[in-house]
Amino acid sequence: GPYTKEDIDQWAECMARNLYAAGVRSNDICQNAYGMGLFTGGLGFHQGAEKIGCAIIPASSGMTERQVLLMQDFGTTVLFSTPSYALTIAEKAKDMGIDLRGLPLRVGIFGAEPWTAEMRKEIEDRMDIHAMEAYGLTEMGGPGVSFDCSEQNGLHISEDHFIPEIIDPITEEVLPLETQGELVFTSIRRQAMPLIRYRSRDITTLRREKCACGRTLVKMDKVYGRSDDMLIISGVNVFPSQIESLLLDFPEVEPQYVIILKKKGYLDTISIDVESRPEVYEAGKEKIAEIEKKIAGKIKGIIGIGAAVRIVPPKTITRSEGKAKRVFDQRGM
């Protein structure tokens, strides 16, 4: 916020576009597992689904066992949540002996944090759904700025509401299309808090091309990372999303991990704790050591940093009910 009544109406319109492009229709039952209080996500998704005419379960985040029971009892067909919380719900359902793939659930619309193509596939496999992306930022009114279509090949930006640009995050020079840089927005219809050339800190690329879905709006690629999230480790620029992509290439581990940065003398060190799947941990220390070595080797070979990888027992990393905290930088301690 703040919002005028007109701002709220326009926000609902943008969100309805977003949801419709993702396949949501008036006969859907939408379970909203975004935070509902002062967090813009929950309210935006609720308004968009309401405008389409859907039935809405305002579950909010948390109480994960109840989320699973609501899906089962009400026949939820569409889930709104952060991608990391979707995986938490899938894990809880498995613990409860409930196979989400047998429920009416068919679409999930996820956002509020960067997530990789590998995490999208993980969610789709565990839930047997189409995992779609919604992008937005509080300063532009919340979610609904850009959205996935059926092609899942870039997010369409609502250009009648927002003017997007890509800049060099250091020099602030405007960059041409198809060049990676920081995304900047100008809001052209907001009344209460219009912003000119607001720096999102999100790193992505803009593309203007004909989409098979028929939309002609400019596309942005999935957010690669944030300019203020980029880690500099012994002079090497690293985004957490790079590490996530590599970890999810290994079927032996769960998509639950933390990155810990420390100082050893004057040198930066990075360690990565990642959960193993139950059968892998039960296989013993030799198997675990073998996987740790493989992961560390791949990180060294592709990213160029030496990381201490530690496989930890299942369900030992704290689960997220909203945006996941993956990085703990202890170098200044």
Residue-wise pLDDT for 160-176, tens only, equals 999 999 999 999 999 99
E strand or H helix that includes residue 133 = strand 130-137
As to burial, measured by CB atoms within 10 angstroms (0-12 exposed, 13-18 middle, 19+ buried), residue 273 is middle
Cα(129)–Cα(106) distance, integer angstroms:
5
- Residues 274 and 309: beta-carbon distance below 8 Å: yes
Cα(111)–Cα(114) distance, integer angstroms:
7
Q: Identical fold at 5-225 and 231-329? A: no
- Residues 207 and 180: beta-carbon distance below 8 Å: no
Report which of residues 129 and 240 the model is more confident about: 129
* pLDDT surpasses 80 at 275: yes
Window from 43-52, 163-172, 259-268, 296-305 with minimum mean pLDDT: 259-268
Window from 36-40, 89-93, 300-304 with minimum mean pLDDT: 36-40
Residue with tokens 């790193």: 203
Amino acid, single-letter form, for residue 18: N
Closest of 190, 88, 174, 86 to residue 136, by C-alpha: 190
User: Do β-strands 142-147 and 130-137 pair in parallel, antiparallel, or remain unpaired?
Assistant: antiparallel
pTM of the model: 0.80
User: 321 phi and psi, to 5 degrees?
Assistant: -105, 5
Q: Cis omega (within 30 of 0) on the bond before 2?
A: yes
Cα(90)–Cα(83) distance, integer angstroms:
11
SS3 237: strand
Any idea where the domains of the chain sit in the sequence? 5-225, 231-329
323 confidence band (pLDDT: 50, 70, 90): confident
333 confidence band (pLDDT: 50, 70, 90): low
Domain 231-329 grouped into CATH 3.90.700.10:
no
Instruction: Spell out the residues 6+ positions from residue 69 whose beta carbon is closer than 8 angstroms to its own.
Output: none
Cα(146)–Cα(135) distance, integer angstroms:
5
As to burial, measured by CB atoms within 10 angstroms (0-12 exposed, 13-18 middle, 19+ buried), residue 287 is middle
Amino acid, single-letter form, for residue 298: K
Residue-wise pLDDT for 176-205, tens only, equals 999 999 999 999 999 999 999 999 999 999
The CATH architecture to which 5-225 belongs is 3-Layer(aba) Sandwich (3.40)
Residue 45 burial (CB count, 10 A): 30
